[in-house]
Chains A and B, each alone.
Chain A
């Protein structure tokens, strides 16, 4: 069987996605949902911290507040992989979540009204 027949656009990443997390998939409850807002703390990277290029890219993307979903989209890695990398950065106190969940299941009336006005003006 020719090996290159599997390497069209549908084949997905050639390197298995969890290679960058060294196989780690399990996490403590991190309370992050897809629209949680993340931001770099600005703390200097400790010398002992072993950061991969992906960690550094994530950190750079978080200089401005960014949602978890946008972060995963920008770095183009699967959500579960980004979750592990973000957790590493939070452990090192390099990244923080501004809110556990942004709106939560009980939406704020003020936010809803702003949302409605914004949509109507589109």
Chain B
């Protein structure tokens, strides 16, 4: 009986709004390979399987000899993809941007329609974050930097990280532990607040 009611409610809602109620928002989780993107998506959202294609171009340079192979070959790769279902038919999607350079062709597609981005950084390998910081700065996508503090990693002074990454003062920077749901949650809250600040500051 219950689901008869809910079914009717869904139809009513759809009728009232032209089936246009579902609101989807997207946040990118970027950063170097192995920095914790998959862990972060998993600790805060419902992980969903999603595959994309990888065109074999420079992937196997130096590994497989593809000389003379002119035909385009592709294989599929799994993406970090998670969803957080919020009240009012609002769904927040998290997409991990692939860390390795050979997947960079996907970034533009992923960035389309993204409201903001989180650049995950590892203090031991800060240079791995440069590419992502550059990308979002150039594209004008609002982003923040979340320094993932692994077990045993020294806790850096956030100001030092800011200097090392040459971050603008307006870019939020947070120390976090992405394995921890509350910590991952505060990262997402920080990036949405940052986007909101920029939106409301617009003339």
A122 to B46, alpha carbons, bound, how many Å? 13
- Provide the A80-122 mask, 1 if CB < 8 A to any CB of B, else 0: 1100000000000000001101111111010111111011111
Task: List B contacts of A98 (CB < 8 A).
Answer: 19-20, 22
Task: List A contacts of B48 (CB < 8 A).
Answer: 69-70, 73
Task: List A contacts of B56 (CB < 8 A).
Answer: none
Q: Does B15 contact A (CB under 8 A)?
A: no
Q: Does A13 contact B (CB under 8 A)?
A: yes
Task: List A contacts of B95 (CB < 8 A).
Answer: 34, 69
Task: List B contacts of A111 (CB < 8 A).
Answer: 23, 25, 90
A-B contact count (CB 8 A): 139
Look across to chain A and name the residue whose beta carbon is closest to the beta carbon of B199.
A109
The smallest C-beta distance from A116 to any residue of chain B, in angstroms, reads: 5
A76 to B49, alpha carbons, bound, how many Å? 7
Main secondary structure, interface of B, reads mixed
Asked whether, in the complex, the Cβ of A80 is within 8 Å of the Cβ of B24, the reply is no
A positions within 8 Å CB-CB of B = 12-13, 17-18, 33-37, 39, 64-67, 69-70, 72-73, 76-81, 98-99, 101-107, 109, 111-116, 118-122
A98 to B53, alpha carbons, bound, how many Å? 26
Look across to chain B and name the residue whose beta carbon is closest to the beta carbon of A96.
B19
Among B21, B52, B90, the residue within 8 A (CB) of A80 is: B52
A62 to B48, alpha carbons, bound, how many Å? 18
**Which of B79-87, B128-136, B145-153, B168-176 contacts its partner?**
B79-87
Q: Indicate whether A33 sits within 8 Å of B19 (C-beta atoms), given known contacts A79-B53, A107-B195, A112-B192.
A: no
A76 to B95, alpha carbons, bound, how many Å? 17
